[in-house]
Amino acid sequence: MPELPDDPRARQAELERWASEQWLEDQRPTGIPWRSLADGVAKAPGQVAGASALLANRVLDRGLRTAGDVHRPEHAHADRVHYVPTAWHVLPRALRTLEASDRDTFIDFGCGKGRVVHQAAKRPFRRVVGVEISEELAEIARRGLAARRREHRCPQVEIVVSDAAAFPIPEDLTIAFLFDPFSAGTLDAVLNNLVGSLDRHPRRLRLIFVHPRCGAQVLATGRFRLVSEQRGGLKDIRLFRTALFESC
């Protein structure tokens, strides 16, 4: 184990680097030198991406248990989309672009097992909310958040069980996160609710829309403009493509 620096961020980076080396050591077949393994990795970037995702889950998902798809129906809503966890890099990169601060309130619509809620709660947001229609997934999210609560800098973090279309939009909401959480009908209702909230309380409202196959619906409201589009990375490039919108 390496000697760790005092700075918390540098310490985390060193721990992740060390964990990466240990993971690769575990996967290396006996008798194959590191040079040969490195050469093989260089020739197979897709395998590197897969290994990186496994490593990230191994290091970052401890206690949360958000990894792995849920292919059975978690609820019976007609607009349901089955659970897939958001890649770890997506939210931090989007929040850097949006210059999020402690004045922002963050809501994840269709939060699933709570990975993004946990990531957001590690920042000093005013408050963080996860909205999830499935009681099963909501309970998993609550348990995971409780297990990692010591890492949270946000003073108010909660999971609300609700149909997103019926969820009342708080007037302090400034950043909404959607990872393709439901199909068109529910999305229309959520967008209408967001626009109504803006009408009642004009403010700067930003949307992080991952895999925005329905992004045209956001622009069709006439109340949001596209700020940025971010590619997903080596693995699942299209799945984790992210569009950032801002109220106008």
Sheet holding 206-210, edge to edge: 157-161, 127-132, 105-109, 173-179, 206-210, 242-247, 224-230
Give me the residue spans of the domains in the chain.
8-60, 90-247
Structure tokens at 183: 């199909």
Q: Which amino acid is at 245?
A: F
pTM of the full predicted structure? 0.77
Kindly report, residue by residue over 30-40, the tens digit of the pLDDT. 444 434 444 44
CATH number for the domain formed by residue range(s) 90-247:
3.40.50.150
Q: How confident is the model at residue 241 (pLDDT cuts 50, 70, 90)?
A: confident
Kindly report, residue by residue over 21-78, the tens digit of the pLDDT. 444 444 444 444 434 444 444 444 445 455 566 777 778 898 898 987 665 656 667 6
> 78 CB contacts (<8 Å, ≥6 apart)?
185
> What 3 state SS string does the chain have?
CCCCCCCHHHHHHHHHHHHHHHHHHHHCCCCCCHHHHHHHHHCCHHHHHHHHHHHHHHHHCCCCCCCCCECCCCCCCCCECCECCCCCCHHHHHHHHHCCCCCCEEEEECCCCCHHHHHHHCCCCCEEEEEECCHHHHHHHHHHHHHCHHHCCCCCEEEEECCHHHCCCCCCEEEEEEECCECHHHHHHHHHHHHHHHHHCCCCCEEEEECCCCHHHHHHCCCEEEEEEECCCCCCCCCCCEEEEEEC
Q: How confident is the model at residue 122 (pLDDT cuts 50, 70, 90)?
A: very high
